Amino acid sequence: MASQDIHHDRILIIDFGGQTTQLIARRVREAGVYCEIHPWDLTAESITEFDPSGVILSGGPESVIENNSPKIADEILKLSVPILGICYGMQALVHQLGGQVEAHRGESEFGYALMDVTDACSLFDGLSDSESANAQLDVWMSHGDRVASIPEGFRTVGTSENAPIAAMANAEAMRFGIQFHPEVTHTKQGAVMLQRFVLEVCNCAGNWTPGNIIDNAVASAQQLVGDERVLLGLSGGVDSSVVAALLHKAIGTQLTCVFVDHGLLRLNEGDQVMQLFADNMGVHVIRVNAEARFMSALEGVTDPEAKRKVIGNLFIEVFEEEAAKLEGTAWLAQGTIYPDVIESAASSTGSAHLIKSHHNVGGLPEHMALKLIEPLRELFKDEVRRIGVDLGLPPNMLYRHPFPGPGLGVRILGEVRRDYANILRQADDIFIQALRAHDLYDTVSQAFAVFLPVKSVGVTGDGRRYDYVVALRAVETIDFMTARAAHLPHEFLDEVSRTICNSIPNISRVTYDISSKPPATIEWE
């Protein structure tokens, strides 16, 4: 299948800073339609180049009635494609099209609400979550301001107790506004509403499916690479494993995988990865032992961004050295996924902040001898796993917790040292094996230990102990753009803490990280 087929229909999601913007994207993708998230201040040229089939305006924390609040670009309002405004997006539509938004005089509306459908609307027709004669929908609200009057041409199609104008529609102009969040599961019919918008209102075909994505990636790789050779930086994680399967399907023996053992892997991971690929992939893998080289380069480096740059640059050096040994190698393949791209990007005016440089994105040197190929760059993590299933990869490979390319380098705070890495490896293994033993491993999305280069006083027998601290981290997430700390049983955490402190003489204290993302990131650095 040609590349343009799965990208022919495309939804542009304008991000006003809402915490659930990525969930909108996931719902659109689940409906079988390609979409991209872009900041509200993207350029007119970018809008024209994207050529959307429809636009969704996300929620956000600002107030449209405040000065300098984010605005909908004029170029978007000039488009003749359907537009759906969600929460802040609805209020921005109202504000910029001549309606009125006001601050709540009474109660704000946060959480569950019951919306009465008051007029016909293609998003709601035939939907109801109650047995009453009038259609009522369970929705999830999160707003302080509210719409006081709607622009000319619009009709009020939904109302709730604290939002007299909870939904509006201009069917002729194909513009809609909803005060609630359809992307969250608390809005029971929300996925249906978004599906109707992209498939029926925007008239998208729904070609964004795992099978079509695979066909597209294979065809694109074949066209891009030609008869040249590709070197894949293999980590053994989900992303690089799926890239290996895709490229092996596309170009066969033109692919060589290089597994760099940088001394920052989990316990026995190097041997496990090599065995796993020998058993399941049939792909040629070269193992490079570069621990001494990486440790030397990281000596004295404490800043997280600097560490990522050092590790990313050294990875490329190793890959290029290996490529030089393989005649005809011109490409470097990586397992970059869409959240990596979003988190490493800044908006056109600089209003969106860089969260961190990913080794696959911001960690690369400016000039490389190899050309870059990233088949998963458009995909969320759950999409990667789904195409991995279609490619026949084993579950223990696909559902293994993610592990960052810089490895333990970003799980050791401050300077990376060999003795720190050895301590952390042991603690991390105890935690992971305990999760498996208690059937908790598959209930969390990612779990690991973090080494803190500080010492804490403890007691061993009758003696004083003064040793290091480790933190345990386990999160639950779908797309890794947002996450919450896993609610692991206290008894389990107590058991893991005791085992770590009793088994590893260098650790005197274990903590559990309960931070969500946002405001924290999943990794500590």
- Report the 3 state secondary structure along 73-108: CHHHHCCCCCEEEECHHHHHHHHHCCCEEEECCCCC
The alpha carbon dihedral of 199, 204, 207, 208 has a sign of: negative
Active-site residue, 87 included: yes
Length of the chain as a residue count:
525
Fold of 417-512: GMP Synthetase; Chain A, domain 3 (3.30.300)
Cα–Cα distance for residue pair 363/305, rounded to 1 Å: 8
CB neighbours of 368 closer than 8 A, spacing ≥ 6? 316, 320, 332
- According to CATH, what is the number of the domain 210-334+361-398? 3.40.50.620
Cα–Cα distance for residue pair 216/114, rounded to 1 Å: 43
Q: Which residues on adjacent β-strands are paired with residue 146?
A: 102
- 323 and 371 Cβ atoms separated by less than 8 Å: no
pLDDT at site 344:
64
**Mean pLDDT (whole number) for 442-452:** 96
Element (H, E) at 274: helix 269-280
Distances (CA, A) of 21 to 62, 190, 382: 14, 14, 16
In this structure, are strands 155-160 and 109-117 parallel, antiparallel, or unpaired? antiparallel
pLDDT at site 359:
44
Query: Does the pLDDT at position 249 exceed 60?
Result: yes
Active-site residue, 291 included: no
Query: Does the pLDDT at position 173 exceed 70?
Result: yes
pLDDT at site 208:
96
pLDDT at site 347:
39
In the chain, which residues fall in CATH 3.40.50.620? 210-334+361-398
* 76 Rama sector, left if φ>0, alpha if ψ -120 to 50, beta otherwise: alpha
Three state DSSP letters for 380-442: CHHHHHHHHHHCCCCHHHHCCCCCCCCHHHHCECCCCCHHHHHHHHHHHHHHHHHHHHCCCHH
Cα–Cα distance for residue pair 219/71, rounded to 1 Å: 39
Q: How would you label 215-235 residue by residue, b for 16+ Cβ within 10 Å and e otherwise?
A: bbbbebbeebbeeebbbbbbb
pLDDT at site 271:
85
Cα–Cα distance for residue pair 338/344, rounded to 1 Å: 10
Residue with tokens 């709607």: 150
> SS3 for 230?
strand
pTM over 0.85: no
pLDDT grade, residue 251 (50/70/90)?
very high
Cα–Cα distance for residue pair 442/473, rounded to 1 Å: 15
Q: Which class for 303: exposed (0-12), middle (13-18), buried (19 or more C-beta within 10 A)? A: exposed
Q: Indicate the range of 61-65, 365-369, 396-400, 470-474 predicted with least confidence.
A: 365-369
pLDDT at site 399:
85
pLDDT in tens, 402-442: 888 899 999 999 999 999 999 999 999 999 999 999 999 99
Query: Does the pLDDT at position 133 exceed 80?
Result: no
Q: Which residues on adjacent β-strands are paired with residue 137?
A: 115
What CATH architecture applies to the domain 7-201? 3-Layer(aba) Sandwich (3.40)
Marked catalytic residue, from 87, 121, 257, 501: 87
pLDDT at site 404:
85
- 15 and 39 Cβ atoms separated by less than 8 Å: yes
**Mean pLDDT (whole number) for 34-42:** 95
Cα–Cα distance for residue pair 391/214, rounded to 1 Å: 8
Other beta carbons less than 10 A from residue 392's beta carbon? 9
Marked catalytic residue, from 181, 358, 359, 401: 181
Q: Indicate the range of 1-10, 23-32, 38-47, 386-395 predicted with least confidence.
A: 1-10
Q: Which amino acid is at 492?
A: F
Active-site residue, 353 included: no
Q: For the chain, give me the number of helices (H) and strands (E)?
A: 16, 20
pLDDT at site 498:
96
pLDDT at site 318:
87
Query: Does the pLDDT at position 353 exceed 70?
Result: no
In the chain, which residues fall in CATH 3.30.300.10? 417-512
Cα–Cα distance for residue pair 513/485, rounded to 1 Å: 7
> SS3 for 109?
strand
In the chain, which residues fall in CATH 3.40.50.880? 7-201
Query: Does the pLDDT at position 352 exceed 60?
Result: no
pLDDT at site 358:
44
Q: Indicate the range of 1-10, 88-97, 227-236, 408-417 predicted with least confidence.
A: 1-10
Marked catalytic residue, from 183, 343, 383, 525: 183
* Pure H helices in 175-266: 190-196, 210-225, 238-251
Cα–Cα distance for residue pair 425/415, rounded to 1 Å: 16
Cα–Cα distance for residue pair 373/331, rounded to 1 Å: 7
Other beta carbons less than 10 A from residue 297's beta carbon? 18
